[in-house]
Chains A and B, each alone.
Chain A
Amino acid sequence: MIAENTQTQMRKGILEYCVLSIIARGEIYASDIIAELRSAKLLVVEGTLYPLLTRLKNNGLLSYNWVESTSGPPRKYYTLTEEGKGILSQLDQTWQELAYAVGISQKGANS
C-alpha cells in the first residue's frame, strides 16, 4: 500500500513534465499524447489526460487549434506557448537535477 502510494506520487509528479515534453516535439492530438504515454507505460486511461490538458491550457502553457478530422468531429491539436516552453526548460533542468540526485542516491557519490 505504501509502495503503491509512493508509486502514484512519483507518477503524478512526472506526468505533467512528460506531457509537456511530448507536446514540445510538435503539434499533437490528445489521443496521440495518450498513445505515447501508454507506450511509455506512464498512463493507462485517456480520461485522466483531459483535465490535465485543460488545466495546462488555462495556466497559459498550452494552446490549441481546431483541425478538421476525416473521421468524426474536429480535433484539438495542442502546442506549447512561449510561457510553456520557458517552464519546460525549467522543468528539464529540474529533471536533470533529480536524475542526478537519484543516480547519486543509488550508486553513491564516488562511483
Chain B
Amino acid sequence: MEKTIIINIGNTIIHIEESAYELLKAYLNEVKHYFANHADDLEIVTDIENRIAELLTEQLEEQKKQVVDAGNVNSVIGLMGRVQDFDNAEATTEEEPMVHASFQAQPTDKKLYRDMDERVVAGVCAGIGHYLDFDVKWIRLAAVLTVFLGGTGVLVYALLWIIMPKATSRIEKMEMKGEPANLQGFQKNLDEELQAVRERLSEANKHAQPVFARLGNFIGEFFEWLGRFISGTGKVIFKIIAIVIVVFGVLFLLSLIVGVAAFQGFWDASIYEYFPFSIVNEGNRGVILFSAFIVCFIPVLALVLFSIRVAFSKQAINKTLSFALLIIWLAGAATVGYQAAKISSEFKQHAELTQTTELKTLPTYTIDIDKSKYFSKEDSIAYHIDANQRNQIVVDDFEDGPFVSPNNIRININKSENGVTRIVQKFESQGKTFQSALQNAQNISYNYNSKDALLIFNPRFQLRKGTIWRNQEVWINLELPVGTKLIIKHDAYRYINNYGTWDCDEKENDSDNYSTWIMTEDGLRCIAQLKEEALHKKKLKKELLDLESLRKTKPVDSLYQDSISNRVKEVKEELGINVEDNTGN
C-alpha cells in the first residue's frame, strides 16, 4: 500500500504514488533549471510536461493500471532523457543567442511594492522597508509617530496605498525584495513556480493600471481591512459586552422570579393595600401578575440568549422554541394591554361627594394635624400593639415612603361669603360609571376633630376594606368669615393647598411652631407679614415728610432738587400701591 497523490500535469489529472511523485518532481526541477536560461523556457517546459503526461497516460492504459508508480516514471525519464544527455545532443544551445534580459534582472534592481504577506494595514510600511533595506518596525514606528504629528501620516499612507502596487505574484515579491527574478531563483515547488511564471505573463500590464482602477482597489482593500479589524478586535469587544449582558440578564431574571414568587405566595396580601398594587382588582391580580411577569421576562431572556450566541458563537435555542417564546410574549402583552385598558376604563367617570359641617363662629381657630397613626384592629395585631394600652401613641412619621398611596388630604382655606364658619369635606373618586365612582367616594373613611376653636385633621384618609384605589381624593374646605384669625400649626403647613404657609413662618421669625393669619376681604393674610408691611409704610411716610420739608428749603443745586423730587415720586408710588393694597384694613 502506498499513498497516492493527484497531480495536474499538462492539463491531465494523474494519480501517482508518492515516491514516484518525488521522482518526477525532482526530474522536472532539473529540467526547469536546465532550461532556465533559455529564451523559450516556458514553452519548452510545457511541451515536455505535456509529453510526460501523454506518456504516463499511455502507459497506464497499456498496463491497465490506475496509478503511476516509480517504474513508470523511470521509463518516462528514460525516454525523455536526462539533463546530462541534453548537453550531448543539443548542440545549438551554445550557439543560441541567450535572451537573458527579461529573466535575469539585475539582482540589485528593487521595485517598490506593498508587501501583502507582512502587512499590518496595507503593507505600505513593509514595502518601504524592503525597498530601503531597513527594518520594518522602525518604519512602522515612524509612521505611527507621524499620525501624532497632526495626522498627515494618515494622508500620506493613504496616498502610498493608492500609488504603490501590491506584490501578488512571486516575481513581484522577488523584485520587491531585490532577489534576482529568473527561473533559477525559484527553488521551491514546481506548481508554485509555474504559477508565478503564468501570473507574470498575465499581469504584465498591471503596472500600467489607470488611476481609477488603483483607487477602486484601494477602496476595496480599505473595506476589506476594516472588515478584518471589526471581525478581529471588534469581535472581542462584542463578546465582552455580550458576557456582561448575559451575567446581568441572568441576575435580573432570577430576581424577577424571586419577586413574583414573593408576591404570589410568601408575602401576605397586605401588599395590595399599598399604592401601585391597590389599583388592581382583587380577582385579576393573579392574571395581571403572571402576564406582567411574562412581558418582562421573555425579552430579557431573549436578550440573554442572543448574547450567549454572540459570546460563545453557539445557538442556545432552536427556532421553534424561540417562536413559541414570541407567541407567549405576545399573549402576555395582549393580556396586560387588555387589563390595563380595563382598569383605565374604571377611571372614566368622576364623582364627588360633599359633606358640610357648620362651626360655631369664634374669633380664632387653630388648625393642627393629628400625627398619631390610625390603627385598625388588624394593624394592632400586626404591629403587636396592645389595643388596651390607650395611653401609648404611635406617631406616624413615614410620610413619603416609596409605596405610600396618594391618600393625603388637602386643605383649602377660603373666605366665607355669608359670615358662617364651616368645614366642607369633599370626597372625590373615579369609577367605571358615575354610580361606581360615587360608591368609591363613599368608601372613603375620613375623620377630623373639632373641639371649639381647635380643628385637628387626620393627615390621611383611609379606604374602607375591599375598596380599590380609584384616584380617591379628600379636600377640606375651611370657610372663615372676614376678620377671623387662624393659627396654623407647623405640622399642618404641608397640607394647606392654596397658601404658601412657609413664607409666613419666615416672616414671623420666632421659634413657635405655628403662624398666625387673618381672613381679609382679599383672602387669608399672614399677620406677621401685615405688620411688616405696616411698618414699612410708616417708614415711607416718615421719609416722605422729611423729603417734603427738605424741598421746602428749596436747595439751589438743581441736581439735588431733582433727586429729591424723584425720591418723593418713588415713595408716593409705593405708598399709593400700599394704600390700595391695604384698603381692607
Q: Do A and B bind?
A: yes
Nearest CB of A to B41, in Å = 9
Q: Is the CB of B93 within 8 A of A45?
A: no
B495 within 8 A of A: no
Which residues of chain B come closer than 8 Å to A50, judged between CB atoms? 44, 47-48, 51
- For window 7-49 of B, CB contacts with A under 8 Å fall at 10-12, 31, 35, 38-40, 43-44, 47-48
- For window 34-59 of A, CB contacts with B under 8 Å fall at 43-48, 50-55, 58
Q: Is the CB of B91 within 8 A of A69?
A: no
Q: Is the CB of B51 within 8 A of A51?
A: no
Which residues of chain A come closer than 8 Å to B513, judged between CB atoms? none
Q: Which of B79-87, B347-355, B446-454 contacts A (4 or more CB under 8 A)?
A: B79-87
Residue from A15, A31, A55, A75 with most neighbouring chain B CB atoms (10 Å): A55
Which residues of chain A come closer than 8 Å to B80, judged between CB atoms? 45-47
Among B31, B51, B86, B89, which residue has its beta carbon within 8 angstroms of that of A31? Answer: B51
B508 within 8 A of A: no
Nearest CB of A to B168, in Å = 28
Q: Interface size of A by Cβ–Cβ distance < 8 Å?
A: 28
Check A52/B10 contact, CB under 8 A, given A46-B79, A58-B40, A72-B57.
no
Residue from A12, A55, A72 with most neighbouring chain B CB atoms (10 Å): A72
A27 within 8 A of B: no
Bound complex: CA of A59 vs CA of B15, how far in Å? 38
A71 within 8 A of B: yes
Check A73/B10 contact, CB under 8 A, given A47-B80, A54-B44.
yes
A30 within 8 A of B: yes
B400 within 8 A of A: no
Nearest CB of A to B183, in Å = 14
Nearest CB of B to A16, in Å = 7
* A-B pairs under 8 A by CB, number: 90
Q: Is the CB of B47 within 8 A of A48?
A: no
Q: What residue of chain A has the Cβ atom nearest to residue B35's Cβ?
A: A51
Check A71/B81 contact, CB under 8 A, given A8-B91, A47-B31, A54-B47.
no
- For window 73-116 of B, CB contacts with A under 8 Å fall at 79-83, 85-86, 88-93, 96
Which residues of chain A come closer than 8 Å to B86, judged between CB atoms? 45, 47-48, 51
- For window 67-107 of A, CB contacts with B under 8 Å fall at 69, 71-73, 75-76
- Majority DSSP secondary structure for residues of A touching B: helix
A110 within 8 A of B: no
Among A30, A51, A58, which residue has its beta carbon within 8 angstroms of that of B90? Answer: A51
Nearest CB of B to A13, in Å = 7
B548 within 8 A of A: no
Nearest CB of B to A35, in Å = 10
Which residues of chain A come closer than 8 Å to B50, judged between CB atoms? 72-73, 75
Check A12/B54 contact, CB under 8 A, given A45-B82, A54-B47.
no
Bound complex: CA of A81 vs CA of B39, how far in Å? 22
Which residues of chain A come closer than 8 Å to B57, judged between CB atoms? 71-72
B61 within 8 A of A: yes
Check A51/B54 contact, CB under 8 A, given A16-B92, A45-B82, A45-B86.
no
B53 within 8 A of A: yes
A9 within 8 A of B: yes
Nearest CB of B to A15, in Å = 7
Q: Is the CB of B38 within 8 A of A69?
A: no
Which residues of chain A come closer than 8 Å to B532, judged between CB atoms? none
Q: Is the CB of A9 within 8 A of B91?
A: yes
Bound complex: CA of A71 vs CA of B85, how far in Å? 28
Q: Is the CB of B81 within 8 A of A45?
A: yes
**Known contacts A8-B91, A51-B35, A58-B39; can you find 10 more A-B pairs with CB under 8 A?**
A12-B90, A12-B92, A44-B81, A44-B85, A46-B79, A47-B86, A48-B86, A55-B92, A55-B96, A73-B12
Residue ranges of A at the interface with B (Cβ–Cβ < 8 Å): 8-9, 11-13, 15-16, 30-31, 43-48, 50-55, 58, 69, 71-73, 75-76
A-B contact pairs, 20 of them (CB 8 A): A8-B88, A30-B47, A31-B54, A44-B81, A45-B80, A45-B81, A47-B31, A47-B48, A48-B81, A48-B89, A51-B44, A51-B90, A53-B47, A55-B96, A58-B39, A58-B40, A72-B50, A72-B54, A72-B57, A73-B54
